[in-house]
Homo-oligomer: A and B are copies of this chain.
């Protein structure tokens, strides 16, 4: 029954797929310490955990605060409640193994102090193998279920923006707008913002990562609104820039250039494309307008359980895009004194190219 076995293969668990990396890593086990990686692999969403994936079993180590929660959330792993620290418990478990083991761990997540404690707790029979991003790479390519949730998360944040539009008017503060945005996303079912909502008006909008202040919007302000929602653990991330009043010709031209840069970047996205080439497509358009010196960040980033994950869409990045990756496309220009313009959508890489998940309109709105 070939159909059934194909289906089974598709459903092979994420932990099983991770086990396929053992041979490449020359390891018998992987110790996963990054919380989003743990959630991805076994479903646990608590704030303290270590997941030990061995060839024939997996164990989530957590503490007594999470006894009930772990029992409810965790599938595909045994739950062990550590009473004297997670590292001590993992060390004791490894020490109890008969054979000598090679255990991979992420050098990008384990601190120098944790590594020393692990080595001491597990004893000298365990060999530690440095890994960087095996689980992250697996997470970068989303499965159909993940893409469906991420589309819902992108639609949700688009709806939040459209509901917020009538409130963007002179007199309201950046902070009050940000509060409205986060309130609306929760009312629409989000568990929370995927990052601190950015509302930045006037010259403040030239800070690409501004925090909303009590400053009130006024006529002649560019307003950058960068917002994302977490829905069923997955993030969306969307930026729109509007103008309070009628925008001068120069601002209109800047906006058109950014939108054109975004379209060029999306057009450059397809399975097999280099991430750096997508960035270069956006940058090239802005260079044509002589605005490239105002584009001071990368074109985009991967998105999923975390708001920033692999792949990075930046200058010279040589990651090859694959079908199923979800990334942001968000060129921007920032002019000190005048303000900033950024347009950001979430897209999924498909065989036919970039497919927009974000649904909010991208026209320049003069309010």
For A193, the closest partner residue in chain B by CB is B192
Render A76-113 as a binary contact track against B, CB cut-off 8 A, 1 for contact.
Answer: 00000000000000000000000000000001111111
Given known A179-B186, A183-B179, contact A209–B66 (CB-CB < 8 A) = yes
Instruction: Identify the closest chain B residue to A209 (Cβ).
Output: B65
B107:A336 contact, CB within 8 angstroms? no
The yes or no answer to A127 lying at the interface (CB within 8 A) is no
Tell me, yes or no, whether A353 is within 8 Å of chain B by CB. Answer: no
Residues of B within 8 A of A179 (CB): 183, 186-187
- 11 intermolecular pairs with C-beta atoms under 8 Å apart: A46-B209, A64-B297, A65-B208, A68-B207, A107-B112, A107-B113, A175-B186, A179-B183, A179-B186, A182-B183, A183-B183
Query: A227 CB to closest chain B CB, in angstroms?
Result: 13
A172 at the interface (CB under 8 A from B): no
In the bound complex, CA of A179 to CA of B188 (Å): 11
Pick from B45, B208, B209: contact of A211, CB under 8 Å: B45
Assess whether B113 is in contact with A111, with CB atoms less than 8 Å apart: no
How many subunits of this chain does the assembly comprise?
2
Q: Mark A183-197, 1 if CB is under 8 A from B, else 0.
A: 100110001100010
Give the distance to chain B from A136, nearest Cβ to Cβ, in Å: 13
Nearest residue in B to A197 (C-beta to C-beta)?
Answer: B192
**Of listed A109, A111, A175, residue having the most chain B CB within 10 A:** A111
Contacting A296 at CB < 8 Å: which of B67, B109, B183, B196? B67
User: Do A206 and B107 contact each other (CB < 8 Å), given the known contacts A115-B112, A132-B113, A183-B183?
Assistant: no
Q: Does A1 contact B (CB under 8 A)?
A: no
Determine whether A3 belongs to the interface, using a CB cutoff of 8 Å to chain B: no
Minimum C-beta distance from A232 to chain B (A): 12
Task: Report if A210 contacts B (CB, 8 A).
Answer: yes
A303 to B132, CA, bound (A): 32
Q: How far is the CA of A64 from the CA of B130 in the complex (A)?
A: 31
A-B pairs, 4 with minimum CB distance: A107-B113, A107-B112, A179-B186, A64-B296
CB nearest neighbor in B for A116: B107
Report chain B residues within 8 Å CB of A191: 175, 196, 211-212
* Distance (whole angstroms) from the CB of A304 to the closest CB of chain B: 18
A109 touches B107 (CB 8 A): no
Interface flags for A36-73 (1: CB within 8 Å of B; 0: not) read 00000000011100000000000000001111110000
Which A148-184 residues have C-beta < 8 A from chain B? 175, 178-179, 182-183
